[in-house]
Amino acid sequence: MQRPVIAHARWRARSVLGLLLFTFALLIVRAVYLQGMHNDFLQQKGESRYSRVLEMPATRGMITDRNREPLAISTPVESVWATPSALDLGAENIRPLARLLEMSPTELAKKLADPQRDFVFLKRHLPPEEAAKVMALGVPGISLQREYRRYYPGGELFSHLVGFTDVDDKGQEGLELALESEIAGKPGSRRVIRDRRGYIIEDVESIRKPQDGRDTVLSIDARIQNIAFRELKNAVAQYQAKAGGVVVLDALTGEILALANLPTYNPNNRVNLDPKRMRNRAVTDLFEPGSTLKPFTAAAALEAGLFRPDTVIQTGNGTLTIGTATIHDAHPAGALTVAQVIQKSSNVGAAKMALALPSVKMWEMFTGVGFGALPNAGFPGEGKGRLRPHAGWKPIEQATMSYGHGISVSLLQLAHAYMVFASDGEIRPLSLFRREGQAEATRVMSAATAQQVRKMLELAVLPGGTAPKAQVAGYRVGGKTGTAHKLDGASYAANKYVGSFVGLAPASAPRLIVAVMIDEPSAGGYYGGVVAAPAFSNVMAGALRLLGVKQDAPLNNVILPPPSAPEIREEV
């Protein structure tokens, strides 16, 4: 009776042994397969526990003024990051860590709530000394990553021009945005080994070296920019204006030497930033230029051979009726020469010159100096302005455009257009970047016409003109005022004005062009000769002396009208 039991026991033991041997064989085959033939999976899983690829940020290129003064630079900062799956954050560490990171323990715990995440930023852009305090806590799973933060030494003076970057060092406004592909650089990467506590213990290899961004040299002169901003700030405050702008151009090269706007903002501190303050108004905003366009009307009339500077125009009692509309002058002047029309800013005189011209001739003059076209200076969001095709002009429209109504321009466009008078009839393209030598010029009018208009512009700043406050001691100056009602929907606002002045100096051989615009002055006057001309004088005087431009007049050349003399105003 014992044999069947013994035989059954032996069979069972052999079966178990065979099963174990088979299992071991399977494990050996699997091990050989994974270790020798298909080891990618295990290697990946192993490396994920100790190996990590970290980004190596590239240094963003500097932006400097023409004299290599920094306007935007990158400073090294540390960002604190963690691996939630490897983090050992005890109760004794969470409060001091949260305090150093300037967040609540609840907020910190929320960031670390997902243990499956391998990477989470806890705090970006800490100064190195603060980051060192975080690491001194010795919390496992906490690491630092070197990054760069943009700093703007000029603050609000250059904010509209340079712009700013976001927390990831990507350009968001201004030239930081426009030049992103050139100055951002390309980040690199490196492979590191971490221990079980999350600390980096070894650099294994550099996978890709970072490529730093290219430095950019602007045409801007920080010294002139400072003068322009200071004088604009004074003018806006004095006349309680809504906004304002100043543009300074090099008449010889087309370089933009200064570009100031108000209101402004500090790109180093953008808490509660109002988007309205971020607009580069001198480049993007459009306005009706008013009487600053009269010199171009006069130039078109002279070029057509229909008028000479001394040709007399009868302005009568200062009114001109065209259809159902009537154009007015502020002061009835009777007979005026073309030069006096510019000096005294006669709307009637300008309209009569315009109506004597074929519309195409006037349109060609306006388009030739850049109205209705992008300035192409290199700044994002440049305003194109509005200039309708001449074929659709009605007589009243042609008449009003002769003194700057029914057409819109940016301040940058207006300053650029005056280059034609400074450069004896030629105009060069604008540039926000420093040029070596002169750019190729395009001829718009004859040198004789440009010089004749330039003499008229000189008359406008002398007693009897609309802008004696634009004169500069030691230099002959020429320029033109503009005063225009602002559009409010489809009609002109009764009590909202734009006062402007554009001029050049020295008039004998112009080097600089300065354009000033004061938007909605509400105290002390609104005419361009009152609100904009004094700022022009101060900016021009400071800039000429900084550049060492030779004087072409004695220091006592400024002649102001007597206090009792009537103010020469413009009808708006």
d(CA 134, CA 94): 11
Q: Quick one: which H or E segment has residue 16?
A: helix 3-32
Structural contact between residues 409 and 367, judged by C-beta atoms closer than 8 angstroms: no
- Say whether 244 sits in a helix, a strand or coil: strand
291 annotated active-site: yes
The tokens for 26 are 């399977």
Distances, alpha carbon 488 to alpha carbons 39, 285, 407, in Å: 74, 15, 15
**453: Cα within 13 Å, side-chain hemisphere:** 30
Annotated catalytic residue within 143, 159, 219, 291 = 291
The H-assigned helical ranges of 311-443 are 338-344, 347-355, 359-368, 395-401, 411-417, 419-422
The type of residue at 304 is A
**DSSP code per residue over 272-321:** T--GGGG--HHHH--B--GGGGHHHHHHHHHHTTS--TT-EEE-TTTEEE
The type of residue at 3 is R
Structural contact between residues 340 and 458, judged by C-beta atoms closer than 8 angstroms: no
- Say whether 204 sits in a helix, a strand or coil: strand
The tokens for 481 are 């005022």
Q: Quick one: which H or E segment has residue 460?
A: helix 447-460
The type of residue at 182 is E
Q: Give residue for tokens 């240094």.
A: 59
Structural contact between residues 471 and 557, judged by C-beta atoms closer than 8 angstroms: yes
Catalytic residues: 291
